[in-house]
Structure 1
Amino acid sequence: MRLNKYIAQAGLASRRKADELTANGNVKINGLVVKEMGYDVQEGDVVEVNGRRIDKIEKKSVYVMLNKPLGFITSSADEKGRPTVQDLVADVDARLFPVGRLDYNTTGLLIMTNDGDTAYRITHPKHHVYKTYRARVAGVLSAAKVARLEKGVDIGGFVTAPAHVKVLKQGERSAIVEIQIYEGKNRQVRKMFAAVGNKVQELDRVAIGELYLGRLMIGHYRKLTPKEIEYLKNV
């Protein structure tokens, strides 16, 4: 089994984060540091991540939906001492990591789990799991701009995949817009609107695939239902 998948199945990190840990020398196999991300774990191998042996971990998969507030980062720790989403799920009896990211000034739906395989399915663009955002943007979002966003825009050396965009309300100075994307580049939605000349003033993620935030209060979380978990495992 590929090393990043092995680490993910143990619930220690997503596959992407597992690759980062490996590249940084935080992974040992049979007592030796391994930086080969394509390493295939063999039967009998002892894998350690940050000194923790995977073969001693009894994993129980846990899945929660969090309504992320402003001012929290989607990281396990922050060198600047800012609060993290981990603080909001500290009472969960499992080490959870965020599936994808929401930036410091973005609110809304965030899935947190220790199931790396499911996290991979949700975040990898090849599975086309759409994330729905509601944004307030400055200025007028014309039909021509909507068409550009839906076709794909250059956000700095990367052309985005086609998006679904709907203007919910257009005011004199700003617009309320719903946008659906299945990619997850850093600050992608903000960069997309900036590319057509509309600065994002507020941004909230309201859905991931068929999972909706609903009435979940800001800063609170709830465990996913068996039906919701089954959906995520098969997207």
Structure 2
Amino acid sequence: MSLTQEACDRIRDAIVSGKFDFGERLSEEQIARALGMSKAPVRAAFMDLRDMGLVTIVPQAGTYVFTPSRQDVEEMSRFRAMLEQEALQSALKRNPEALVHHLSAAISQMDHAIAVGEWALYSSADSAFHRAFLQLAGNRYLEKAYDLTATALEALRARLQAGEGDFWRRSYSEHTKMRDLIAAGAFDDADALLQDHILIIIRSLALPDTSLQTRQKSQRRSDQEYLDLLASKPALL
């Protein structure tokens, strides 16, 4: 793995898991020190993260964690719903049994994450569940289009799942119900549930109304904080 890829993966994981706040300014120098590398791969990683929609690079000002507006969330969610529903239909035509197998594997990962109380692991399992539709659809362009917004939406859903309330419980229940509907051949019901499951984020996520300039006034973190935030985590089993 290249240093740029390592930096990208570690920063991405910290953003998606909610360790870095929306709108927070990221220190290229401190991240480089925390990862034990020069600033060049971190700078290149910022460019990759910008392409994923996870950071905003402001010339002469710095790099900031993305700050989604309610319109952003709605448009991304509806885009994702269209792609996943198309992928689901294609996957069902090709091999519904394989799809059930992949969804069941992801649900087993969710069970493990819930048992150990690791919501970052649950988020990874959630992503694996939805990726199964794309992977089994047989259309690589669907997955490329999905990647335009997938990581940013993953970050939003991870914040909901790790927070208070029953969002993750509803998420888990709907995942298992979707798998069971597909296994039973109730494809139309599974498709309807998938759309509702994806679009619930529009109604559930509380977004700040402050301006980007206000949000960019984030407190400076210490070197130790960066070390802690960028520490590697064990992979999902």
Whether TM-score is above 0.5 comes out as no
Smaller-chain TM-score bracket: under 0.3
Which is higher, the Rg of structure 1 or of structure 2? Answer: 1
The structure that is strand-richer by fraction is 1
Q: Which has the higher contact order (CA 8 A, sep 6+)?
A: 2
Query: Normalising to structure 2: TM-score of the pair?
Result: 0.27
